Structure 1
């Protein structure tokens, strides 16, 4: 019967644990960095839209659904995409008309300056240097606002930071040196 070399197995397990610990530590650092960047990125400031005036739109932070156009809530009918006639202009001059309606049931209404607003058009995610303008006659009938789609900051970046801290903790638990196992 052949005797197993316990010391060689111990060294192999310790080496594997050190590599796994290093991978978890790098993953944790990456997750914390991504979460902090996403959490600290500025969101769209509320902007009152006027006819044929280009308004700068901030770049959408990571994990954020973007921006939405809200209009004064009317008991009869909300303005349509054609009545607002809104367009996005990218830094290279490409103008895209907005036609995607916002989901009013999912987003709900907002109150701005004492006026109830309902979502009309979904602008979505935007990049740096994007501008928005509306040329429709519906802007003369009441206030139209450009607001962040969510009324609150997304909790996803915070979850990513917590996952990164968890990876750091797991890396410490697995690391042989943290457990007091030094080279023999």
Structure 2
């Protein structure tokens, strides 16, 4: 839930800036945001875990959260940009004409219009974070494991493990992920994620 909240707080404003502003190097910035989604997590997970261990963050909940933000923030940005582009800029201009500052514009105008997209993005981030094995495995300590990492340890750790407990964790993991995915799909049509507003 920390990963979900921080991804929303960082990703939504970043998506708005990328959707509404043109600046030199914008395509390069977009490419950098997309890289964690395009390459396998293990590719950047090992160097990232090394940095987190050197700085003292790894082995704790904060390390797990920081590691999982690397792919989830770009994911929120990628999902939110089409939703933002579909909002007519004239609505924002009208709000500013009537005296709305940036904060009021976001809270009273943009937030209600973007709420379906935000909820869908955050729910999909939750599903992705629950399923993320590599980054959590590389950076987690004994007190900060997700269910999928705990399941891995239960299966492959030394000693005898009760088969029933492993089966129970696997069922809980699959059912939890499925429930969140179904909830997410109620808020968004998957084709909206790749749609773009026509100029």
Q: State TM-score, norm by structure 2.
A: 0.29
Q: Which has the higher helix share?
A: 2
Q: State TM-score, norm by structure 1.
A: 0.30
Q: Which has the higher strand share?
A: 1
Higher RCO, 1 or 2 (CA under 8 Å, sep at least 6)? 1
